[in-house]
Amino acid sequence: MKDGRPAKFNSDGIALTPDGNWLYYKPLSDDKLYRIKTEHLRNWNMTETDLAAQVEDLGHFTTMME
């Protein structure tokens, strides 16, 4: 949330690990897969820049249909 409003981002795929520690996502306009620790998303003191620095680029992601 930002300023009391939910965060918005375009994501084609999104998944949370069973233990809730990692959020994985794949943007609509990109073929890469990213992840971020959910502890960072719950830290209200982090700025957008801080959060962006915590995102891990896991490289290109394709499916059998692509």
Cα 43-60-47 angle, rounded to 5 deg? 20
The confidence score (pLDDT) of residue 39 equals 97
Per-residue pLDDT tens for 22-52?
Answer: 999 988 777 899 999 999 999 999 999 999 9
The confidence score (pLDDT) of residue 27 equals 82
* Domain spans of the chain, in order of start: 13-60
* Cβ contact 32:2 at 8 Å: no
